[in-house]
């Protein structure tokens, strides 16, 4: 008998499979698998640049506001504190559509839309901020439903977010062919459609405990996702070598959708098994003496701590911190600095895929391939860091911050490879950086939940993510954009040309990016050192049983 058959659930009649927590996982997978429109900025940024006549600094400013929207989800977290997940997901859907449909109208030169730069920044930030609402509504809900498998849950779900770039790219080619501007239109309507269809199935299940075969089910979902990632990788490489027709794009997309929906088989089988076991227990159940149905004793609740009290006297690590206790703690400060130096640098590289490829002379087909490959490698980074860190933590007591330190060290090599500009190594560099960027999110989000508890996890999760755009602004706008425009103007002057108003700057050669990425590599190494300080501070905590509290509550 599994732990799902808790005493509180015995008095409930068996529910349909789509009301169980495993169907919540499946619904979350579908929602998150089309939520990564922000990762495709490198694919449509050239259309924005040419249509609106922006220089690289202005384009990087747009990229910065996109990163702010995609990572600053504190509002989503606060709403999730007081509202059910479906409200958070609905708000995110409305924001996604309104932001990206305005961007699409602007890029297509619609007479009704004559945007200023600040308006473009605002609409892109609103559209990108919808991703924090879907992440909060879906991911936080699943972590609360499976608290003892949080690393695996975060890795799996963020893995599908990583694949979303490649998934949307395939659907874009199948629906619109090669019309680049229509990619923004697809990003505008597809995520809200999927989200609004499934949002009522995403909810927190109370009184549900860990199953004995819980991890095995997640491994089954992992294997399916690996098959999907392998297929996307194969198709992406093939499309780069052979020109696909519209029919071929649609056939490959049909296979992709079959793999994407394959987890429903595992989910239905498991929910039916749980329902059968619950019915059998109900038939054999004899109420304990002194207990009446509907009057089961509630779990003991700890004393409620007001949000403004004991701000500088936090509880032990692993207990539920208040929001202020967590935000003002040294551990959160270290995580915040680590994210600025680490995620900020990798995010800058991903945002500049299109411009780096152009500067190094790669054709548009190769740049589109790079974008999809980064998405796939980001998926691998997410699932590997989620599953492997959970195994190392539970079996060998390896602190999760130590694995974050190794990921940051690996990212330094990716930045150096870009700075070297060796022919045919850009794909290797982007693969490393895509993997590292993907690996950071599950590690950082898991560490936050482990150190500060799950009570205010929705808000603290989004505060941790807010560090990425700070690093992206420094590295992308102030560093990469500045060096790119400076080199482009130097090249124009060498040819005796002068920039006219409305012309966008184009830089050719590795000199456009060499200095900036050497600086980013050094900054990532600093982040690696700061991360190791957290390893030393939390060593004793991770040597203990961090999930003991949840087993005692069960």
Do 99 and 124 touch, CB atoms closer than 8 A? Answer: yes
Distances (CA, A) of 143 to 139, 212, 450: 6, 17, 11
DSSP state of 287: P
String of DSSP letters for 400-448:
HHHHHHHHHHHHHHHHHHHHHT-TT-HHHHHHHHHHHHHHHHHHHHHHH
Q: Look over the chain and give the mean of its residue pLDDT values, rounded to a whole number.
A: 85
pLDDT value at residue 300? 42
pLDDT-wise least confident of 126-135, 305-314, 419-428, 518-527: 305-314
Enumerate residues 6+ apart whose C-beta is below 8 A from 488. 56, 505, 506, 507, 512
String of DSSP letters for 47-100:
HHHHHHT--HHHHHHHHHHHHHHHH--HHHHHHHHHS-HHHHHHHHHHHHHHHH
Q: pLDDT tens digits, residue range 399-424?
A: 999 999 999 999 999 999 999 887 67
**Nearest CA-CA partner of 350 in 71, 135, 126:** 71
**Nearest CA-CA partner of 145 in 191, 210, 83, 96:** 210
Q: pLDDT tens digits, residue range 116-136?
A: 889 999 999 999 999 999 999
The answer, yes or no, to whether residue 67 has pLDDT greater than 90, is: no
String of DSSP letters for 227-267:
HHHHHHHHHHHHHHHS---HHHHHHHHHHHHHHHHTHHHHH
Q: Is 313 left (phi over 0), alpha (psi -120 to 50) or beta?
A: beta
Mapping DSSP onto H, E and C, the string for 458-520 reads HHHHHHHHCHHHHHHHHHHHHHHHHHHHHHHHHHHHHCCCCCCCCCCCCCCCHHHCHHHHHHH
CA angle 418, 347, 43 (to 5 degrees): 80
Record the pTM: 0.81
Q: Is 109 left (phi over 0), alpha (psi -120 to 50) or beta?
A: left
* Burial of residue 416 (number of CB atoms within 10 Å: 0-12, 13-18, 19+): middle
pLDDT-wise least confident of 36-40, 132-136, 209-213, 542-546: 209-213
Within the chain, what is the greatest distance between any pair of CA atoms? 94
**How sure is the predictor about 233, in pLDDT bands with cuts at 50, 70 and 90?**
confident
User: Rounded CA gap, 413 and 241, in Å?
Assistant: 28
Q: How far is CA 393 from the centre of its chain?
A: 22
Q: pLDDT tens digits, residue range 343-400?
A: 889 988 988 888 888 888 888 777 777 877 787 888 899 999 999 998 999 888 999 9
Q: Compute, in degrees rounded to 10, the torsion defined by CA atoms 6, 7, 9, 11.
A: 160
The answer, yes or no, to whether residue 427 has pLDDT greater than 90, is: no
User: Rounded CA gap, 507 and 266, in Å?
Assistant: 50
Do 56 and 484 touch, CB atoms closer than 8 A? Answer: yes
User: Rounded CA gap, 215 and 317, in Å?
Assistant: 25
Distances (CA, A) of 460 to 87, 208, 428, 509: 19, 24, 34, 42
Distances (CA, A) of 129 to 82, 155, 258: 19, 21, 29
Cα within 13 Å of Cα(81), Cβ side: 17
CA angle 540, 544, 545 (to 5 degrees): 150
Q: Compute, in degrees rounded to 10, the torsion defined by CA atoms 371, 377, 383, 386.
A: -100
pLDDT-wise least confident of 26-35, 215-224, 503-512: 503-512
User: Rounded CA gap, 282 and 183, in Å?
Assistant: 52
Higher pLDDT, 130 or 46: 130
Place of tokens 């395939």: 170
DSSP state of 310: S
The answer, yes or no, to whether residue 3 has pLDDT greater than 50, is: no
Do 538 and 451 touch, CB atoms closer than 8 A? Answer: yes
Percentage of residues in the chain having pLDDT higher than 70: 87
Q: Compute, in degrees rounded to 10, the torsion defined by CA atoms 362, 363, 368, 372.
A: -40
Q: Is 476 left (phi over 0), alpha (psi -120 to 50) or beta?
A: alpha
pLDDT value at residue 281? 62
Helix axes 514-543, 330-351, angle to 10 degrees: 140
**How sure is the predictor about 547, in pLDDT bands with cuts at 50, 70 and 90?**
confident
Q: How far is CA 21 from the centre of its chain?
A: 21
Q: b/e per residue, 38-60, with b = 16+ CB within 10 A?
A: bbbbbbbbbbbbeebebbbbbbb
């Amino acid at each position: 008998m599994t732990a799902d058959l808790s005493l509180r659930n015995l008095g409930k009649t068996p529910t349909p499979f789509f009301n169980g927590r495993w169907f919540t996982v499946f619904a979350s997978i579908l929602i998150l698998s089309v939520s990564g429109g922000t990762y495709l900025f490198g694919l449509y940024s050239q259309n924005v640049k040419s249509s609106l006549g922006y220089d690289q600094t202005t384009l990087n400013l747009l990229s910065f506001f996109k990163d702010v929207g995609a990572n600053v989800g504190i509002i989503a977290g606060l709403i999730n504190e007081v509202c059910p997940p479906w409200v958070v997901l609905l708000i995110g859907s409305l924001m996604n559509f309104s932001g990206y449909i305005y961007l699409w109208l602007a890029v297509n030169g619609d007479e009704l839309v004559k945007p200023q730069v600040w308006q473009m920044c605002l609409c892109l930030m609103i559209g990108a901020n919808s991703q924090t609402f879907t992440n909060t509504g879906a991911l936080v809900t699943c972590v609360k439903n499976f608290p003892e498998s949080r690393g695996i849950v975060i890795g799996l779900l963020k893995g599908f977010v990583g694949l979303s770039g490649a998934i949307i790219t395939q659907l874009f080619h199948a629906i619109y062919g090669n019309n680049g501007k229509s990619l923004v239109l697809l990003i505008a309507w597809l995520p809200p459609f999927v989200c609004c269809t499934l949002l009522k199935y995403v909810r927190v299940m109370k009184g549900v405990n860990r199953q004995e075969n819980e991890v095995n089910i997640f491994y089954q979902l992992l294997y399916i996702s690996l098959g999907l990632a392998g297929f996307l990788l194969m198709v992406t490489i093939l499309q780069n070598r052979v020109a696909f027709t519209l029919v071929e794009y649609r056939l490959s997309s049909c296979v992709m959708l079959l793999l994407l929906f394959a987890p429903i088989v595992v989910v239905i089988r498991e929910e039916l098994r749980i329902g059968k076991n619950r019915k059998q227990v109900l038939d054999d159940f004899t109420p304990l003496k002194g207990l009446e149905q509907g009057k089961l004793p509630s779990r003991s609740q700890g004393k409620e701590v007001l949000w403004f009290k004991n701000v500088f006297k936090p509880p032990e690590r692993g207990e539920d911190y208040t929001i202020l206790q967590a935000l003002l703690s040294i551990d959160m400060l270290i995580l915040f600095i680590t994210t600025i130096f680490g995620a900020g640098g990798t995010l800058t590289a991903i945002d500049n895929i299109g411009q780096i490829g152009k500067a190094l002379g790669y054709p548009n087909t190769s740049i589109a391939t790079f974008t999809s490959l980064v998405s796939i490698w980001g998926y691998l980074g997410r699932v590997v860091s989620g599953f492997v860190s959970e195994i190392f933590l539970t079996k060998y007591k390896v602190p999760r911050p130590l694995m974050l330190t190794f990921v940051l060290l690996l990212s330094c090599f990716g930045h150096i490879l870009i700075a070297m500009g060796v022919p045919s190594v850009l794909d290797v560099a982007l693969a490393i950086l895509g993997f590292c960027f993907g690996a950071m999110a599950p590690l950082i989000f898991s560490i936050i939940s482990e150190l500060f508890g799950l009570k205010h996890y929705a808000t603290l999760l989004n505060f941790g993510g807010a560090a990425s755009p700070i690093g992206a602004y420094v590295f992308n706008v102030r560093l990469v954009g500045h060096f790119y425009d400076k080199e482009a103007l130097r090249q124009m002057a060498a040819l005796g040309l002068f920039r006219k108003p409305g012309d966008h700057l184009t830089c050719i050669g590795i000199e456009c990016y060499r200095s900036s990425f050497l600086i980013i590599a050094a900054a990532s190494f600093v982040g690696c050192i700061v991360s190791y300080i957290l390893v030393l501070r939390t060593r004793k905590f991770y040597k203990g049983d961090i999930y003991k509290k949840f087993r005692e509550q069960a």
